[in-house]
Amino acid sequence: MESSKVIHAFYNDDEVLMDAVKAVKAEHLHIEEVFCPFPVHGLDKAMGLAPTRLAITAFLYGITGLAFAIWMTNYMMIQDWPQDIGGKPNFSWWANMPAFVPIMFELTVFFAAHLMVITFYMRSRLWPFKEAENPDPRTTDDHFLMEIPVNNNEAKIIDLLASTGAVEINVVDKH
């Protein structure tokens, strides 16, 4: 049976936290999560997290928006209801394309932005009315919390965390 205990180590400085993360990773221990009141530059790299692929999805969503804009302007202005506006030919999308550039730009940005927000929330599992998973409210104010699972090495981890400058160390049962 696997233990459901975790160690919560609290830090009150982001640089001390970064040094602690590096020390814990140097001991080949797994860090389950780090809760911070603000983004800490370089923490993802120090924890060994894989780089995000959200930029790729943003590009694909932008291309989708551009394709939709091209289809929409062609359908509306050329096929469905062709009009002679300012002497421009109404039989060719290419001849009218410069007039459609603002529409193509705006729909590219619109699709990329809105679909990225939806993707971010889905990827982060942030649903409407979701309960907060923050283990301690101090991490939204001025403390940093490192969560490390315990696997019959509780004393070793506590000694290591105490040597890294943790201001508080707690062993808790994770539910």
Rounded Cα–Cα distance for residues 90 and 12 (Å): 66
Could you tell me if 153 and 112 lie in one domain?
no
| Pairing outcome for strands 5-11 and 144-149 | antiparallel
- 152 lies in a domain? yes
How is residue 145 annotated by DSSP? E
Same domain as 68, residue 103: yes
pLDDT tens sequence across 72-87: 999 998 888 887 777 7
Same domain, 69 and 112: yes
CATH number at residue 156: 3.30.70.260
Both tokens assigned to 5: 């205990």
Report the pLDDT value the prediction gives residue 1, as an integer from 0 to 100. 43
DSSP string, 67-128: HHHHHHHIIIIIIIS----TT--SS-HHHHHHHHHHHHHHHHHHHHHHHHHHHHHHHTT--T
Same domain, 58 and 94: yes
45 lies in a domain?
A: no
Task: Domain count for the chain, please give it.
Answer: 2
pLDDT score recorded for residue 2: 55
pLDDT in tens, the chain (175 residues): 456 889 999 999 999 999 999 999 999 999 999 999 999 999 999 999 998 888 999 999 999 999 999 999 999 988 888 877 777 777 888 888 888 999 999 999 999 999 999 999 998 888 888 888 888 889 989 999 999 999 888 889 999 999 999 999 999 987 6
How far is the C-alpha of 55 from the C-alpha of 51, rounded, in Å?
A: 10
**Within a domain: residue 113?**
yes
Distance, first Cα to last Cα, the chain: 15
Contact criterion met (CB below 8 Å) for 158 and 52 = no
User: Does 70 lie in the same domain as 118?
Assistant: yes
Over its C-alpha atoms, the chain yields an Rg (Å, rounded) of 26
Q: Is residue 133 part of a domain?
A: no
Q: In the chain, what's the furthest Cα-to-Cα distance?
A: 82
Domain that holds residue 82: 54-123
Give the per-residue pLDDT at 69: 97
**Position 108 in a domain:** yes
88 domain-assigned: yes
Same-domain status, 33 and 58: no
